[in-house]
Amino acid sequence: MADVAKLAGVSGQTVSRVVNGNDRVTAATRLRVEAAMQQLGYRANIAARALATGRFGTIGVVMFNLSAVLNVRIVEAVVTGAQARGYSVSVAVVDGPTEKDVRAAVRGLTDRAVDGVIVIEARVLDTPHLRLPEEVPLVIADSRAAHKHPTFGMDEAAGARAAVDHLLGLGHATVHHVAGPAGSNPAQRRRAAWQRQLKRSGRAVPPPVAGDWSPRSGYDAALRLLADDDVTAVFAANDQMAVGVLRAAAELGRRVPGDLSVVGFDDLDFAPFLTPPLTTVRQDLETVGRRCVEHLIARIEEPRGTGAPQPASRFVRPELIVRASTAPPPTARH
């Protein structure tokens, strides 16, 4: 660093500010320092910087499924937010949803010198209360508040209620549900909210048909549901299963939305391009990821987290996106 400062004709403190992305450096000075760094082949010594600042400049992320679109959207928001603040991101993928696996992943990240950890959907199947190592600040991205650590997530129950209210408001007598798998916390929350909202509205609660999030499972579930001509409205727990419902309806000659209304959940990229375009619940997962990383960095950069801001709301309300797959039932149009 001293060599860079000498070549650029600046102080060592100025070089440090450039390395750490500090804004208190003019553009011309920054370019001069960066040119000197490139000429000398300078790279920051992470270990030395950690000794001086007490921080490594890295955030760890623990997630369960790297191929899950929704998890990836949160990670992308975390990476973008972390990089904007000068932090890099290290990701650990957990093979099994057990407390032992999650704790091992967090320990592995702390061993690799991270300043804090974000756990995405802290779901475990072998204990009701997940206990996590506390050597570093930790934030959880989840839709439950039952964690001792700061938690940010989507208000999935509000999304399911909006879907049910929309269909009942159109005049449907009740709403049938293609649920996600029994072991999934998001599936459980959406199913429970669907059921509660029907009961609150004084409507019959038909038995849900479980799927596994895939289009095929939605298709198979719809074949069972649509054997009953009285079924006029289906709320699928995700957009992929809603795709299967649309395919089954087409094969059975049930017009959407003429004979059947369909609502999905997630608002994935393909939802507006289906035939018909899918009414669905949009989750603002980018805001969830951004709030996680902002709160975590505030905890990292303040002694013992005392300066970390307390957000007005930890849970983001989803938005119902109404498209052409929903309409009043046939009887209401006659």
Residue spans per domain, the chain: 1-44, 58-154+285-316, 156-283
Residue 41 pLDDT? 87
Q: Which of 260, 239, 237, 238 is nearest to 248 (CA)?
A: 260
128-149: string of b/e by CB count within 10 Å (b at 16+)? eebebeeebbbbbbbbbeebeb
How far is Cα 179 from Cα 186, in angstroms, rounded to an integer?
10
Cβ(143)–Cβ(156) below 8 Å: yes
Residue 334 pLDDT? 46
Q: What is the share, in percent, of the chain residues with pLDDT greater than 90? A: 60
- In the chain, which residues have pLDDT < 70? 20-21, 44-54, 66-67, 122-129, 145-147, 303-313, 332-334
Residue 235 pLDDT? 98
Residues comprising the chain, all counted: 334
Residue 207 pLDDT? 97
Residue 179 pLDDT? 97
C-alpha atoms less than 13 angstroms from C-alpha of 92 in its C-beta half-sphere: 22
Q: Which of 283, 284, 267 is nearest to 325 (CA)?
A: 267
Q: Which of 139, 148, 154, 142 is nearest to 59 (CA)?
A: 139
What fold is seen in the domain 156-283? Rossmann fold (3.40.50)
Which token pair is 252?
Answer: 């059975």
Cβ(122)–Cβ(153) below 8 Å: no
> Residue 257: is the preceding peptide bond cis (ω within 30°)?
yes
Residue 258 pLDDT? 96
1-44 and 156-283, same CATH topology: no
Residue 31 pLDDT? 92
Please provide the CATH number assigned to the domain covering 1-44.
1.10.260.40
Residue 241 pLDDT? 98
Residue 320 pLDDT? 98
Q: Which of 149, 181, 178, 145 is nearest to 68 (CA)?
A: 181
Q: What is the share, in percent, of the chain residues with pLDDT greater than 70? A: 87
Cβ(247)–Cβ(226) below 8 Å: no
Other CB atoms within a 10 A radius of the CB of residue 305 amount to 15
Kind and range of the H or E element at 122?
none
Architecture of the structural domain at 58-154+285-316: 3-Layer(aba) Sandwich (3.40)
Residue 227 pLDDT? 95
